[in-house]
Structure 1
């Protein structure tokens, strides 16, 4: 153990969600990310299992960013005996706090509803974690700066590096006895509406790289024209344009794009409602950390003033009852939960409704079902016919595509001794493996869930 690092692939190995990678060393045991599995039932059920390692022996958690599939398992980790520090950049921890508190509240509400309406086989249904458990986890957060090496021990240091994707997101460089381990986290895109271009690693002995879009290029879509056309159609039909949105980054990007369209006279002053308590909180994170994004405080304020920000569930129902043509942006992005379910439950069976999907839809989610043309969809134990028009914008993804991923690796000066492809579905992983071999002549491997690997130092 003294001269090696043992890697445990505890999540996002062979699948897109549940990022967790444990590095066991003689001095420190370090967990990179601690995410929940999302998507198909088989994956979601894994969340209820205790980790296959000694949790009490984990010394610290380093977070690449605040998304649920990278932080959502933290309260369960604490419940299983983790008592170290959870470390990330300031905006990452602010986002993680919002997401964990919101997630805990949803878990509690869903368990209560399932028990009251008896659409559960569990007696009783329990929340995945409670608000109190989330709060106890948040107390263990510790902020560290971006771009600066932090010494853990005499032989172990780490650094967070700006990575685009969402506010606060980074890739992580770990130096262990002179060998550099690089964890890509989720890599953002160049020329993002709100964020700067990702930084790039310059050295990697062991590289862990996400492959969400390892087999795809984002289409060159004319967003202005497509959205203008959809909005004109909605006004004509006196209908609703419902946009299920991720609360972090996607919602703020949509707000920015729609505000700019109005400014450029490309759309009329149609009422636009933003219904995402979590999204509202994330807007505050943008306000508090202006150095992490491109918007000036004046632009930020003008943009927010253009929207009707919904503050209560009562206002949600008032918006549904509002007969005007309108746009509603509501969480969640894969239609797995959140306020968007209330709108779709009431409006998805109306031909005047358009549902616009604006990001990656994981296998097993309602978003993926809609994308694939489902004729009915299940909410809260009942089926509803899908009579709405379903559209998809692929170019708004916050993830790097295949070209971006290859470009991100392009400044690495050495040939890594190990390249692990993670955070992707099987077809994306394999296509990316072949592409890396063609471009760089590096041999990449695709670890499976619960695999272990030993790196000799």
Structure 2
């Protein structure tokens, strides 16, 4: 059996791990690279194996860095099955269609403004190409073995993180491989804690927050403070948010604050069509989260749901103080860029970052204090206040990741650390070896191992 790390090795994006065993090829996740340009350029490269020779894709969840390369895979000849949970199938459809629309729109803007120097830009994939992925989906039930081949099976089990997200246990050649996917928090506001694996010969563990602990602060209180401070200044609060789970969590917390009379009576706006649709996924999958149907219905009444672009423009030029939740979470595209073009130069604006910002993304640059930022080929001076509420992250921290390993009844032959940047990977490697004595390996992009 061979394992090849095609993506998500030494970086938090582009997750792809290839298993080869007795003529069967299985791809765990098929993510899009984000962040710095050298990573983004990898999205245009073909896989090191022919897409037509891959039999199955096992999809842990529907975030772009885990599912966003599926349209390219299908375009390059993949004809197999994509196994995932029902919420993941629904989320992935939203994510891919939204990503394709954003790419088509950015290419249109580039052509109209001639914002390119040499090659004429084109989208990584179109809406039509994204739609060709969906017939490949096969929805599975969690905690039930799925036969992939005569001697290969897989079991999906809850990972927290976002609705429908799972870790995956693959059994083949008398070995058990466990792929964590992205691990959620043990005390998440909306989702149940991750299920811990009981066995595993080889563990593939994400390391996004492998070097840090989330602060023991009250995220709800922080939201209250920042919103009230901005309101006093007559400013607008902008919250770039991942449309799935983060947006719904923020809605829930703001609704609680409003019910408790702790934040002002101003407009609260959801300007992410995908986030609005994701709320429907929560309503249709009640057993996956802690919210009741009544909670979902009541909190929605507090928000103005913006889906039409003309409404976005009207909201932007409405000068009264307001709170806007808009995608994307790493400020890489989407409606939030339109808001920032207008508000980033105003010192009374507060931008609240509520999720992980990958290396090279606008969100990372702005959090690190960038004084100037490029949006749609134009540079803007940054006078808005950028702050981070770490307590709203969907990723488990170092403590959560270590805890996820705590129920193993056997000592793994090896733990591969993936989906993290260099410092996070190495810090987590040291902690795992100190706490459990497990043999840890940090694979490089493109590296292959025989198991």
Q: Give the equivalent residue in structure 2 for 1:93.
A: 89
Q: Tell me which residue corresponds to 1:443.
A: 439
1:331 aligns with 2:327: yes
SS in 1 for 2:399: helix
2:327 and 2:335 in contact (8 A); partners too: yes
The DSSP-based 3-state class of the residue aligned with 1:192 is: coil
Report Cα offsets for 1:164-191 as digits up to 9, x if no partner: 1000000000010321000000000112
1:268 aligns with 2:264: yes
Answer whether contact 1:112 1:125 (CA < 8 A) is retained: no
For residues 149 and 365 of structure 2, the distance between their equivalents in structure 1, rounded to whole angstroms, comes to 48
1:58 to 54, 57, 67: 54
Question: In the alignment, which residue of structure 2 is the partner of 1:355?
Answer: 351
- How far 1:27 moved relative to its partner? 4.5
Secondary structure of the structure 1 residue equivalent to 2:373 = strand
Q: Determine whether 1:298 maps to 2:294.
A: yes
Q: How far is the alpha carbon of 1:225 from its aligned partner?
A: 2.4
Alignment check: 8 A CA contact 1:27 1:153 kept: no
Among candidates 237, 240, 249, match of residue 236 of structure 2: 240
**CA separation in 1, counterparts of 2:6 and 2:242?**
25
Matching of residue 410 in structure 1 with residue 397 in structure 2: no
Taking the aligned partners of 1:236 and 1:318, their CA distance within structure 2 comes to 23
Q: CA deviation at 1:57?
A: 0.9
What is the aligned counterpart of 2:250 among 254, 260, 265? Answer: 254
Q: How does 1:175-324 map to 2 (within 5 A)?
A: 175-324=171-320
The answer to whether the Cα contact below 8 Å between 1:234 and 1:326 also exists between their aligned partners in 2 is no
Residue 18 of structure 1 is matched in structure 2 by: 14
Measured in 1, the distance between the counterparts of 2:182 and 2:219 equals 23
Match of 2:80 among 54, 61, 84: 84
Report the CA distance shift for 1:285/1:122 in structure 2 as closer, same or farther (over 3 A).
Answer: farther
* Kept after mapping to 2: 8 A contact 1:65/1:168: yes
2:2 maps to 1:9: no
Q: What secondary structure does 2:31 align onto?
A: coil
Task: Measure the CA separation in 2 of the matches of 1:351 and 1:130.
Answer: 38
Contact 2:8 2:419 in 1 (8 A): yes
Query: How many Å separate the matches in 1 of 2:12 and 2:84?
Result: 21
Q: What RMSD in Å do the two structures reach over aligned CA positions?
A: 0.9
Pairwise CA distance, 1:56: 1.2
1:364: which partner in 2?
Answer: 360
Give the secondary structure class of the aligned counterpart of 2:405. Answer: helix
Worse-matched range after superposition: 111-120 or 196-205: 111-120
Q: Which runs of 5+ in 1 are unaligned?
A: none
More deviation, 148-157/117-126: 117-126
Offset, 1:295: 0.8
1:114 aligned partner: 110
2:415 is aligned with 1:452: no
CA separation in 2, counterparts of 1:151 and 1:60? 11
In structure 2, distance between residues paired with 1:430 and 1:234 = 39
Task: Trace 1:129-140 onto structure 2 (pairs within 5 A).
Answer: 129-140=125-136
Give, in angstroms, the shift of residue 21 of structure 1: 0.5
The two structures have a TM-score, normalised by structure 2, of 0.99
What SS does the aligned partner of 1:410 have? coil
C-alpha distance in structure 1 between counterparts of 2:178 and 2:315, whole Å:
46
The aligned residue for residue 27 of structure 2 is 31
2: distance between equivalents of 1:224 and 1:144?
35
2:159 equivalent to 1:167 = no
Shift of 1:80: 1.1
More divergent stretch after superposition (316-325 vs 210-219)? 316-325
Which one is further off, 263-272 or 419-428? 263-272
- Alignment check: 8 A CA contact 1:114 1:120 kept: yes
Residues paired across the two proteins, number: 451
Q: Is the 8 A contact 2:218 2:391 kept in 1?
A: no
